[in-house]
Structure 1
Amino acid sequence: MVDHSGKSINLVVAIDFGTTYSGYVFSMTPDVLKFYGPQTWNSGHGGMTSLKTPTSLLLNPDQTFNSFGFEAEDKFAELVADENHHEFYLFQRFKMELHCKNIKKHSMIHDVSGKALTAMEVFSLSIKYLKDHCLKTIGDRGFLRSSNDVKFVLTVPAIWNDRSKQFMRAAAVQAGIDDAQLTLALEPEAASIYCQRESLENMRVGRQTELTNPGTRYMVVDIGGGTADFSVHEVEDEGTLTELYRASGGPYGGIYVDKEYLKMYDVIFGKDAIGQLKKEDMGEYLTIIREFEAKKRTVTANYGSCFVTSMSAVLNEMVANEKKIQSIQSSYLRDKVSLVKGKLKLSPTLMESFFKDSLENIIDHVQNILKSVEDINMILLVGGYGESPLVQETFRNEFTNLQIIIPQDCNLAVMKGAVLFGHNPMSITARILRFTYGVSINYEFDSNRHPRERRFTDKDGVERCRNAFQKLIDKNVKVPSTGRIVTIGHIPPPESPKKYILSVYCTEKNNPIVVDESCQRVGILVVSVPEHFAGIWRGREKYEFGMTEIKVSAIVKATNKTFQTTLDLLE
């Protein structure tokens, strides 16, 4: 395998940056299926061990790095217990800030106590920790000659927009990863690649041999902590994959089960009970979350046993027992929750109900895709939330005519597949574009086409349409993963003879006439000539679609100068 510069690289690291948990694995040629990673991560509160660590970042009062993962949560709990936490920053589950948000370079996010910091700083420090931890692991095992010999792959949801993907790349570069050594992998694609290569004995449910047959069509359902990603793949004769249906999804991940669970506490102990608990006893809050995290992995349909959890002293003191009982009896918790010797006892039906909304959204989404794509005969279920027995059972009950395939290490499929993608990016041969792309320009006004309110007269007396949509490429078009090139040319406007600025947009519409509220700005491209240049010139932009990220370059037709410019997505 060679990197962008043509240099041979035989070690690939995948960093799976998740909403709830993050981690890394790596492998080397020639045995790319022999994966290495850290030992299991351990927590103090709740006694939890995991192959990933929580996506939690603790910063010192001066905003320098303190710790990450279980260590960050446990340290902050100790600070809270000693009343020394007020100036520290704890960020948790912040990846969702990039979902459906118009993220910018200087966008701010808030920690658990409401203190603000730039999202770029929070993401880059987190990625830096995982990168440094991984390089140390590689070095300790004697595999590392130089960090220049490592290719890094960072996972992102397929449903993210181009701006969010560019943000993650910028954060990784700020974290010290060389831009030329970095590739983004789309999470459902990575899981699909892994399951194509994994051995039959490592499939928990389903037959992997059928998954690899040429012509097989299957849906990838990647359900993580925050988002659910859906994609449809077909196996080609060479064993590579082509995408048949544009990536789609929504915020239906496992954290929404947690939210439903925590709502119960507000009913019993009063509004914002959990917020108060975080302030007064972070250790108890972490214990509650981690106990539930372990328990929800065992919930099944018609689950027989109750879930019993201790009440923290802080919550217990907030409300008298009589008041707690009254709140339970007068709400939806009646006959589902009881107080037993200072503990909360939850019925099996209540535990199941916490999953209801997210599961309904997931099942509806799958059914809609099945109506749109013919001959899908199996579903590949992966992701941390996909490990839930209740989720798996629901899929088997809802889709009895389809084969449900679940890898043994469901939670690690994306991460391991991202390593394989790094070794062979051509594992995916074609993708379906999610949006129609175009640029905003001021076309000459056409009364049969353009809205009257967009008409204006320029300085040369020409009537024009303000912010017309000049289409580059249609949505739902299949493009090769090596990229489809679209070229267009523009000249500078009279009022700005040395440069022109293009705003690039995407939209769900098929044939937009003008840039309107349905359009989302992808980024800005600036094409210019030096100030001393006095001739007539024309710019020609080249857009490449079909890879995991958009690539853009521009040529000035008077100087023949090429600008290998990246579309600025974060201004």
Structure 2
Amino acid sequence: MGKRYSKLVLAIEVGNYKSGFAFGEGDRKNSKIYTAIDDTNRQIGRIPTALLLKEDLSLDNFGFYAEEKYISLSLKNEHSNYRFVNNIDICQSDDKLCIKDCRGNELEAVHIYLTIINYLLQMCLKQTKRYEKFENLEKSLIVTLPDFVSKELKDSLKRLIKDVKTVRFVSTSEAAAAYCISQQLILDGETNTKKMQNGTSFIVVNFGRRLTSVCLHRMISDDDYKLLQEFKIGTGGDSITDIFFEDIIKKYGIGHFWNILGDHFCGYMDLRRGFDNEKHKFNNSTECVLIEMPTSIIMKQNDNHSDKSIVFKDNKVIISQKLMKDYFQRSLSSLISTIQEIVKGRENIKCVLLLGGYSKSPIVREIIEEVVRPKQSILVYEPDKGVLNGAVMLGFQGNREVEEIYGIICLRKQMKRFSSIKIEYEGHKAYFLQMVRSSELKDRKSITCELEFEEDEKNQPIVLYRIDSAKIATKQPLTEKDFEKVTPAMQPRNCILNDKEKAEISMTENGVIFSLEMQIQPNVKGSENKFIG
């Protein structure tokens, strides 16, 4: 009998553009990942996040099959009783979270996401049944959703998902980082590679459809990392496609163009697919991009070739090399400014790691490489499966969420309402006052603590520290080296601390009022940069 592994991890990625599943067997130290296969045992990648719903809102088809069937129904004018969803952006309608289908009809977001998850989960479970050795293994499910999905929606989904006992949601940023640190990515000399070492800082750029995450991490052990900064940028793989269609609209008028597309949805999809295929192949040797114009869409012919505008000729769309490069530059402008801001003055950043579908474009990689040089810009192995495979890895690692405790260090025990820990500070006995736990911040977003000092202590500088609760739980002797400074030594004043916290320190009659605030929801970045939590 072969070796029985301890756990079976199922992973589902629900992306705004592509979705998929994978599963793995093993434990934290020894595991194997299986990617999705079709009925002929051929490996398949992620599939379009596209749903075709029947009139009663039950699922008719998903992925490529949903797209093809809806196009076929549209051509025969038999699509009116169906709902086709290929964009799972969430909007607020009255007191409900909704998603709009391609004709603007509102559908409940919980129903749409649950339908996608259940479909992919059943596909995943079906494939695990091919392996007899998985039959009695404990199963857990890891799900990644777009970053704009709220905690409330995740909680609702968690209650409704069946067939597995343990369900955990992780962010795409977590999964991407877990995948990246498992790879031998760093060049060591001209040909050799190695894994990132303890203390190495690195940037992960994960391209989504319309949202790209840029995260700065630091390795804190040989197989673990810490998130230092995270940016959400309102750009992604679809940004360049949107710029292309904006140019068409400018050239021919929004009314004329959208009237055509309204009557010929399949023509619009064909044109969009044609551009998407070409953008991934485009490189410096491409003289111009040629896209077949669908027969259902007829544009006024323009024989005058131009480097500055789109040309229609002989049922083809012609885009010059210069114009195509301009599209790429425009689509990446906010990303480039963010990366430049992060790397500025930071010598310890070793590399920028790229994953997500848009990262496969040679021009995208070339533009980013130029910006970060002499630091390395690296395309990870199978970049479009990075989040999915990383989610499986996180399933074996357990919950990485760390409880952190914030407080100050005093030379003598005081303020009874705060529990204290005896520590050694600069060779002397001192006390760490445990004031705020990170779990409290997540529940309340902000919390205020009042510190009462003796008269002779009121003018002493204040330093805010934090420590991993796991270090305290070991009950080993602690010194100041076990604590991380959140602020420099400061007199009471307003102070921006770092990328995660904001503190307000103000003097009162009795002492000091300390207010710590953590931002929970990520900002969507355009051209400006803000630190977020």
TM-score, length-scaled by structure 2: 0.70
Distance in 1, Cα, partners of 2:439 & 2:326: 33
Q: Counterpart in 2 of 1:191?
A: 176
The alpha-carbon distance between structure 1 residues 130 and 426, as it changes in their structure 2 partners (threshold 3 A), is closer
Q: Counterpart in 1 of 2:162?
A: 176
Q: Structure 1 counterpart of 2:274, which letter? A: E
Query: Given the alignment, which residue of 328, 348, 373 partners 1:375?
Result: 348
How far residue 263 of structure 1 moved from its aligned partner, in angstroms, is 1.7
Q: Contact 2:203/2:353 (CA < 8 Å) preserved in 1?
A: yes
> What SS does the aligned partner of 2:57 have?
coil
Query: Given the alignment, which residue of 117, 120, 124 partners 1:130?
Result: 120
How far residue 299 of structure 1 moved from its aligned partner, in angstroms, is 2.0
How far residue 384 of structure 1 moved from its aligned partner, in angstroms, is 1.6
Q: CA RMSD in A?
A: 4.1
The residue correspondences of 1:136-285 to structure 2 (distance < 5 A) are 136-142=126-132, 144-145=134-135, 149-156=138-145, 160=148, 164-176=150-162, 178=164, 180-198=165-183, 208-209=193-194, 211-245=195-229, 247-271=230-254, 275-285=258-268
Q: Contact 1:41/1:51 (CA < 8 Å) preserved in 2?
A: no
Q: Deviations over 1:380-424 (max 9, x none)?
A: 111222222111111111111211222121111111111011001
Query: Given the alignment, which residue of 49, 53, 63 partners 2:47?
Result: 53
How far residue 437 of structure 1 moved from its aligned partner, in angstroms, is 5.5
TM-score, length-scaled by structure 1: 0.66
The alpha-carbon distance between structure 1 residues 229 and 56, as it changes in their structure 2 partners (threshold 3 A), is same
Distance in 1, Cα, partners of 2:181 & 2:375: 18
How far residue 378 of structure 1 moved from its aligned partner, in angstroms, is 1.3
Distance in 2, Cα, partners of 1:41 & 1:365: 43
> What SS does the aligned partner of 1:284 have?
helix
Distance in 1, Cα, partners of 2:388 & 2:139: 16
Distance in 2, Cα, partners of 1:342 & 1:113: 28
Q: Counterpart in 2 of 1:68?
A: 62
Q: Counterpart in 2 of 1:309?
A: 291
Distance in 2, Cα, partners of 1:383 & 1:420: 17
Q: Counterpart in 1 of 2:278?
A: 295
Distance in 1, Cα, partners of 2:520 & 2:224: 33
Q: Contact 1:120/1:171 (CA < 8 Å) preserved in 2?
A: yes
Q: Contact 1:337/1:345 (CA < 8 Å) preserved in 2?
A: yes
> What SS does the aligned partner of 1:87 have?
coil
How far residue 195 of structure 1 moved from its aligned partner, in angstroms, is 2.5
Q: Counterpart in 2 of 1:345?
A: 318
Distance in 1, Cα, partners of 2:79 & 2:70: 7
How far residue 143 of structure 1 moved from its aligned partner, in angstroms, is 5.2
How far residue 121 of structure 1 moved from its aligned partner, in angstroms, is 0.9
The alpha-carbon distance between structure 1 residues 382 and 175, as it changes in their structure 2 partners (threshold 3 A), is same
The alpha-carbon distance between structure 1 residues 197 and 400, as it changes in their structure 2 partners (threshold 3 A), is same
Q: Deviations over 1:335-363 (max 9, x none)?
A: 54333322121111222222223311111
The runs of 5 or more residues in structure 1 that have no matched partner are: 1-7, 43-48, 441-468, 486-506, 523-549, 551-571
Distance in 1, Cα, partners of 2:471 & 2:106: 39
Q: Contact 1:217/1:232 (CA < 8 Å) preserved in 2?
A: yes
The alpha-carbon distance between structure 1 residues 482 and 41, as it changes in their structure 2 partners (threshold 3 A), is farther
User: Are 2:30 and 1:26 equivalent residues in the alignment?
Assistant: no
Q: Contact 2:207/2:355 (CA < 8 Å) preserved in 1?
A: yes
Q: Contact 1:384/1:410 (CA < 8 Å) preserved in 2?
A: yes
The alpha-carbon distance between structure 1 residues 345 and 378, as it changes in their structure 2 partners (threshold 3 A), is same
User: Percent identity, aligned pairs only?
Assistant: 22
Q: Deviations over 1:73-118 (max 9, x none)?
A: 1111011011011121111121x42xxx779982122111011111
Q: Deviations over 1:443-496 (max 9, x none)?
A: xxxxxxxxxxxxxxxxxxxxxxxxxx74489xx9867497999xxxxxxxxxxx
Q: Contact 1:103/1:164 (CA < 8 Å) preserved in 2?
A: no
How far residue 21 of structure 1 moved from its aligned partner, in angstroms, is 0.5
> What SS does the aligned partner of 1:234 have?
strand
Q: Structure 1 counterpart of 2:138, which letter? A: D
Q: Structure 2 counterpart of 1:348, which letter? A: Q
Q: Counterpart in 2 of 1:502?
A: none
Distance in 2, Cα, partners of 1:437 & 1:169: 15
Distance in 2, Cα, partners of 1:481 & 1:129: 39
The alpha-carbon distance between structure 1 residues 134 and 276, as it changes in their structure 2 partners (threshold 3 A), is farther
> What SS does the aligned partner of 1:313 have?
coil
Q: Contact 2:291/2:318 (CA < 8 Å) preserved in 1?
A: yes
Distance in 2, Cα, partners of 1:508 & 1:427: 20
> What SS does the aligned partner of 1:25 have?
strand
Q: Structure 2 counterpart of 1:189, which letter? A: E
Q: Counterpart in 2 of 1:463?
A: none
Distance in 2, Cα, partners of 1:285 & 1:143: 47
Q: Contact 1:439/1:471 (CA < 8 Å) preserved in 2?
A: no
The alpha-carbon distance between structure 1 residues 438 and 69, as it changes in their structure 2 partners (threshold 3 A), is closer
Q: Structure 2 counterpart of 1:91, which letter? A: V
Q: Structure 2 counterpart of 1:134, which letter? A: C
> What SS does the aligned partner of 1:198 have?
coil
How far residue 50 of structure 1 moved from its aligned partner, in angstroms, is 6.2
Distance in 2, Cα, partners of 1:10 & 1:311: 51
Count of residue correspondences: 433
How far residue 131 of structure 1 moved from its aligned partner, in angstroms, is 0.9
The residue correspondences of 1:324-339 to structure 2 (distance < 5 A) are 324-325=301-302, 336-339=309-312
> What SS does the aligned partner of 2:214 have?
strand
The alpha-carbon distance between structure 1 residues 372 and 72, as it changes in their structure 2 partners (threshold 3 A), is farther
Q: Structure 2 counterpart of 1:181, which letter? A: T
The alpha-carbon distance between structure 1 residues 51 and 248, as it changes in their structure 2 partners (threshold 3 A), is same
The alpha-carbon distance between structure 1 residues 375 and 277, as it changes in their structure 2 partners (threshold 3 A), is same
Distance in 2, Cα, partners of 1:215 & 1:419: 25
Q: Contact 1:396/1:404 (CA < 8 Å) preserved in 2?
A: yes
How far residue 156 of structure 1 moved from its aligned partner, in angstroms, is 3.9
How far residue 120 of structure 1 moved from its aligned partner, in angstroms, is 1.0
The alpha-carbon distance between structure 1 residues 12 and 472, as it changes in their structure 2 partners (threshold 3 A), is farther
The alpha-carbon distance between structure 1 residues 138 and 258, as it changes in their structure 2 partners (threshold 3 A), is same
Distance in 2, Cα, partners of 1:292 & 1:221: 23
> What SS does the aligned partner of 2:85 have?
strand
Q: Contact 1:308/1:345 (CA < 8 Å) preserved in 2?
A: yes
- Structure 1 stretch 426-435 or stretch 72-81: which is displaced more? 426-435
The alpha-carbon distance between structure 1 residues 230 and 201, as it changes in their structure 2 partners (threshold 3 A), is closer
> What SS does the aligned partner of 1:386 have?
helix
